[in-house]
Amino acid sequence: MKKRRHHYVWRNYLRSWSDNEQIWCVRNKKVFPTNLMNIGQERDFYRLNELTKKEVSFLTLLLNQHSSEAIQKLNHGWMELFTAVFQIREQVNKHELSDGAFEAEIEKQIINLGEDFHCKIEEGAIKFLDGLLDNGTNFLADEDNAIEFIYYLCVQYFRTKNIKESAASSVSELDLLDVDKAWNILSHTFSTALAWSIYAERSQWSSVILENHTSFPFLTSDQPIINTYAAFGKQVKDHDELEFYYPLSPEKALLLTKKAEYKDMPSKFLNELEASGYNDIMINMSHEQIYSFQKEQLEMYVQKYNKMLNRD
């Protein structure tokens, strides 16, 4: 069966803000309740696209720029995975062996493969999210768990519509690659490269559970993992300007940071100013949608946003 609703925000993740599969959402300054199936998704978002020879050559050149041969090999594997279906179809058609059933199966794989792969990554991450919600980061001491979880975080960061459109905008003038066509490959290669960088420097990173028991519960959005250094239009230029903030529920969030003040700090209880500040960053870094389990909280932020516009 073809899966046409492709979620770029994991539904299971959003359940921490939902009640009976219903969640409060704000879009275009309108606050409304909706089902989890209807948000953070787009029809055929992960649909595979056949690349031209020019695009394949450019991608190959791009992947070969990484300093690690191991990462080059992994990233070429992503390109092979997401282009194989078109090569198979080309060979079958070349030998005139195609029929209706074959074409139907090829079309199903073109539509489903990207979404199915994200589902597998998400299934593997359930144990990590459950552990984090119980204030546990001990699993990161195990190398295999650390690799899997860091990769999961990077995938959730790069998989979204927001990052996809930002990437497309940044290379549009080069006219060497249609980012929309190649996004399944690019998002996983970016995730792999960043995850390797974080893993290689893992002794410098701290995983901190942020506890929020204030009157400003954590919000989340259609860009649920954010780099706090990039908030409010700041241009990130330095390798070390990376700090992942990832709300896990209205009461808990994960901060992955290199800042010395968090060294050997497993958790931190936030005050109202700090909790509100993280929500402001989440709103600023969102793309189209912001989520809460409280209608009133979203209405408050819409009102605050309108007042800011009126002052400007």
Q: Which residue ranges of the chain lie beneath pLDDT 70?
A: 1-2, 4-6, 171-175, 307-312
pLDDT of residue 137: 76
Cα angle value 273/237/288 (rounded, 5°): 55
Using the 8-state DSSP alphabet, how is residue 268 labeled?
A: E
pTM of the model: 0.91
Cα angle value 18/20/26 (rounded, 5°): 40
pLDDT of residue 136: 73
pLDDT of residue 172: 60
**Structure token digits, residue 276:** 């509100």
SS3 call for 237: coil
pLDDT of residue 309: 46
Distance between CA atoms of residues 28 and 212, nearest Å: 27
**Structure token digits, residue 4:** 């046409």
SS3 call for 149: helix
pLDDT of residue 233: 83
pLDDT per residue as tens digits for the range 170-204: 766 566 788 888 999 999 999 999 999 999 999 99
* Residues whose CB is less than 8 angstroms from the CB of residue 227 and which lie 6 or more positions away in sequence, other chains included: 157, 236, 241, 242, 243, 244, 245
Could you tell me how far CA 297 lies from the centroid of its own chain?
24
pLDDT of residue 175: 67
